[in-house]
Structure 1
Amino acid sequence: MKTKPVLCAIILIVAVLISGCTTTSQQTTAAAAPETPDLVGNWTGTMVGYEYGVGYTNFSGYTITMIVTEQRDRIFSGAFIFTNETGASVWDDAPFAGVVGRDGKTLTLIEDGGGYSTGTVIASDEIELIYADGGDPFNIAINALKRS
């Protein structure tokens, strides 16, 4: 008769374990929002791309500079300047406005007069932009920029 209380205790313990009464409560923690990068300043780099009717190009001898003059939270603005090896401007400056994505890394920019860019903040001093313009002739380019 002594085995009956032991057997009942074992069955009770197994029932408690199966029912989940011993599981720990799961706490959900909200992920911290990523910090918005400070983009104000000059970003300089190179371009490679394709222009319909011209073909592939590395824009040899040309430099692109993205000057971010103002930023309010995730929205920023400025202008692109394109120069040759002597530092002379080769195209009109291109004013732009942009947004940093909620992830703190993705970028979307629109330029005055057409064209837009999407991109990624690779590091605090490095950005890659993909420029696209559906005008005539259409063109696309990769811009690799570093804070200067």
Structure 2
Amino acid sequence: MPPALYARAFGSLSGIRFYSLQVDGEKELATMASDGLDVVDCTKELKSFDESAALVGNLDLVITVCTSVAHLSGALGVPTRLPLDVDAHWVWMLGRDDSPWYPSMRIYRQRQYGDWLPVLEQIRGDFMTMTSRATPRRAF
């Protein structure tokens, strides 16, 4: 997913701090920053998957495509938003917006290949609803 789309969807949100979970994602972070979304990157400090789990476990929400981070955050019970392309991995099944494996996960599916903006806008809308009625689980 192009990083500029994350910036377009989430850059105007205030009072929210975004953290990168993408190891070696400096180029993508630079793109997002130039497009208005500042993201904290502490991935250089992560030396093991246990440390990644500790970071994920301290987040209020994870937005990730289909990577190990999706499975990690789901297994930890962290609220997770998973944008999927039209040709998603079989584990996510078809026609569902939830996961039987990870109750804290919500799935957002592309309707057309390569068309990520509607997916991110839907996540943004749901995110805004969620943040308007919730308080953070813990400070980080």
Question: Does the pair score TM above 0.5?
Answer: no
Is the strand fraction higher in 1 or 2? 1
- TM-score under structure 2 normalisation? 0.24
- TM-score under structure 1 normalisation? 0.24
Please say which structure displays the higher CA radius of gyration. 1
